[in-house]
């Protein structure tokens, strides 16, 4: 049995990111992985502009200690080209976002002035450059705004559009083939015979893969029969980048998945010192990375999130994501009875007086409700045993996207 960290390193080491690229409209690029860095073709904003509705002035025209009367000779609404420079002793009416007339070096808020016909009265105390947003203050021309490998967020789409681009080059989507195994597993929507359970693993997986933006090849539900498992896995190995099964990887009489994978491809490891998720298999089959998730629904999701998801992100060509980890006191403590690494399903309470974590519900590996209420894992190292109420524990915030 290998450690959690060693298993994860081996998985990541075996993954080669996809290289194919495609152009997609920016409006459809959410969550896609940038194939080429976005470099700014011009400054944003591309002209010095006003941050306020008011009056553009030259600071040298103003009296430092008394009011100054300036003649308003120009009008600069938003969307107009920059005005040419003003004659000394004059001001321009200016709106938020309008280019600042050349030579002007301050904007005075309209709330501060007194308007008198064609004249405006400016109080003392104005500062050079006030209320002016200089060209390039957000993005400098020629700078790399978004690196390749970035998974695009809504703000990113806005940035790309602000640079005038309507299309963006992204990595192709990965394709994941999925299947559930088990003679006792029945699809939802069909009557449930005695001794059977509905298939939840494949549906959890569809959710997880959709959140990652993967294409999904659904190989359905397969009996615990050598021939059926062989046919399904072979199809997946031929067509997908990743092949993900659930069930049939422990040591029961009908746990055939591992055997079939070793016949059709290779198994790299199949037991990891973690709880839940001890029985799990990783290998290669055809052109696909193979992940054999445990059958127990919670174990299956935990292994997906901690082991498979980072591998799929790498396969997608995404940059490694920063850890969302912190230490928090655990309410109620915990008693750990084994020497595997344990991932409790936890709920972080973002209390303004101090965040804390507690168990999110039943911790059995078949209890999906505890998973559904969780927003974090409490990661307990192999050597941990008795965790006291209020003790600091490592918390890994859960991410699906």
Pick one of Mg ion, ligand AMP, none as the site partner of residue 360 (Cβ within 5 to 8 A by kind).
none
Q: Is 90 in the site for ligand AMP (CB under 6 A)?
A: no
φ and ψ at 7, to 5 degrees? -60, -45
Residues in 151-190 that interact with ligand AMP by CB under 6 A: 180, 182, 184-185
Interface segment toward ligand AMP; rule CB under 6 A; list 47-55, 123-131, 157-165, 292-300:
292-300
Do 162 and 155 contact (CB within 8 A), yes or no? no
* Closer Cβ to Mg ion, 126 or 181, answer by number: 181
In 3D space, the residue among 194, 217, 197, 189 whose CA is nearest the CA of residue 205 turns out to be 217
Do 324 and 396 contact (CB within 8 A), yes or no? yes
Measured CA to CA, the distance from residue 325 to residue 376 in angstroms comes to: 9
Q: Is 247 in the site for Mg ion (CB under 5 A)?
A: yes
Do 182 and 247 contact (CB within 8 A), yes or no? yes
User: Which member of 247, 265, 283, 292 binds ligand AMP (CB under 6 A)?
Assistant: 247
Min dist CB 204 to ligand AMP, Å, is 8
Cβ within 8 Å of residue 146, ≥6 positions away = 34, 37, 38, 152, 156, 159, 160
Pick one of ligand AMP, Mg ion, none as the site partner of residue 214 (Cβ within 5 to 8 A by kind).
none
User: Which member of 31, 99, 236, 248 binds ligand AMP (CB under 6 A)?
Assistant: 248
* Closer Cβ to Mg ion, 199 or 358, answer by number: 199
Residues in 202-221 that interact with ligand AMP by CB under 6 A: 202
Interface segment toward ligand AMP; rule CB under 6 A; list 64-72, 161-169, 200-208, 386-394:
200-208
Q: Which residues pair with 274 in a beta bridge?
A: 341
* Closer Cβ to ligand AMP, 290 or 334, answer by number: 290
User: Which member of 141, 169, 183, 200 binds ligand AMP (CB under 6 A)?
Assistant: 200
Please give the distance of CA 358 from its chain centroid, rounded to a whole number: 24
What is the number of the residue whose Cβ is closest to ligand AMP? 295
Measured CA to CA, the distance from residue 347 to residue 345 in angstroms comes to: 7
Radius of gyration of the chain (CA): 30
* Closer Cβ to ligand AMP, 149 or 366, answer by number: 366
Min dist CB 271 to ligand AMP, Å, is 13
| Total residues at interface with ligand AMP (CB under 6 A) | 18
Do 276 and 323 contact (CB within 8 A), yes or no? no
> SS3 of 38, please?
strand
Q: Is 182 in the site for Mg ion (CB under 5 A)?
A: yes
Q: Is 294 in the site for Mg ion (CB under 5 A)?
A: no
Min dist CB 336 to ligand AMP, Å, is 22
Measured CA to CA, the distance from residue 69 to residue 65 in angstroms comes to: 13
The owner of tokens 């974590």 is 357
Measured CA to CA, the distance from residue 263 to residue 249 in angstroms comes to: 14
User: Which member of 50, 245, 296, 363 binds ligand AMP (CB under 6 A)?
Assistant: 296
* Closer Cβ to Mg ion, 333 or 364, answer by number: 364
Do 306 and 374 contact (CB within 8 A), yes or no? no
> What count of Cα atoms within 13 Å lies in the side-chain half-sphere of residue 307?
39
Pick one of ligand AMP, Mg ion, none as the site partner of residue 277 (Cβ within 5 to 8 A by kind).
none
Q: Is 272 in the site for ligand AMP (CB under 6 A)?
A: no
Interface segment toward Mg ion; rule CB under 5 A; list 211-219, 241-249, 280-288, 328-336:
241-249
Q: Exposure pattern of 63-84 as b/e (b: 16+ CB <10 Å)? A: eeeeebebebebebeeeeeebe
User: Which member of 246, 359, 360, 363 binds ligand AMP (CB under 6 A)?
Assistant: 246
Measured CA to CA, the distance from residue 384 to residue 198 in angstroms comes to: 35
Residue 348 belongs to what H/E stretch?
strand 341-349
Min dist CB 279 to ligand AMP, Å, is 7
Residues in contact with ligand AMP by the rule CB under 6 A: 180, 182, 184-185, 197, 199-202, 246-248, 250, 252, 294-297
Residues in contact with Mg ion by the rule CB under 5 A: 182, 247-248, 295
């Amino acid at each position: 049995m290998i450690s959690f960290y060693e298993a994860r390193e081996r998985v990541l080491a075996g993954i080669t990111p996809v290289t194919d690229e495609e152009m997609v409209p920016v409006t459809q690029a959410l969550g896609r992985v940038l194939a080429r860095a976005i470099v700014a073709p011009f400054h944003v904003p591309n002209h010095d502009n006003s941050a306020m509705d008011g009056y553009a002035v030259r600071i040298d025209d103003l009296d430092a200690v008394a009011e100054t009367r300036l003649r308003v000779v120009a009008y600069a609404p938003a969307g107009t080209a920059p005005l040419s420079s003003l004659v000394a002793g004059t001001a321009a009416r200016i709106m938020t976002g309008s280019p600042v007339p050349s030579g002007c070096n301050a904007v005075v808020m309209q709330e501060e002035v007194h308007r008198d016909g064609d004249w405006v009265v400016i109080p003392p105390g104005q500062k050079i450059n006030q209320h002016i947003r200089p060209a390039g203050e957000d993005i400098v021309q020629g700078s790399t705004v978004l690196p390749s490998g970035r998974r695009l967020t809504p703000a990113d789409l806005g940035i790309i559009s602000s640079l005038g681009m309507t299309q963006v080059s992204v990595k192709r989507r990965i394709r994941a083939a999925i299947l559930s195994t088990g003679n006792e597993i029945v699809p939802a929507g069909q009557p449930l015979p005695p001794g059977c359970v509905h298939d939840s693993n494949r549906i959890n997986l569809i959710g997880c893969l959709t959140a990652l933006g993967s294409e999904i090849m659904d190989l359905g539900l397969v009996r615990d029969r050598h021939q059926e498992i062989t046919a399904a896995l072979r199809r997946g190995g031929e067509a997908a980048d990743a092949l993900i099964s659930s069930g049939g990887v422990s040591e029961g009489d009908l746990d055939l998945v591992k055997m079939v994978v070793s016949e059709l491809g290779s198994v790299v490891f199949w037991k990891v010192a973690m709880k839940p998720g001890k029985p799990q298999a990783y290998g290669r089959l055809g052109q696909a990375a193979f992940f054999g998730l445990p059958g127990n629904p919670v174990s299956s999701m935990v292994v997906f999130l901690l082991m498979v998801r980072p591998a799929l992100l790498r396969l997608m060509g995404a940059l490694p994501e920063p850890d969302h980890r912190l230490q928090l006191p655990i309410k109620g403590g915990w008693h750990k009875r084994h020497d595997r690494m344990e991932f409790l399903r936890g709920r972080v309470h973002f209390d303004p007086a101090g965040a804390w974590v507690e168990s999110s519900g039943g911790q059995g590996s078949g209890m999906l409700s505890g998973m559904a209420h969780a927003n974090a894992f409490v990661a307990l190292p192999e050597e941990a045993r008795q965790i006291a109420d209020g003790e600091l524990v490592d918390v890994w915030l859960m991410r699906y996207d």
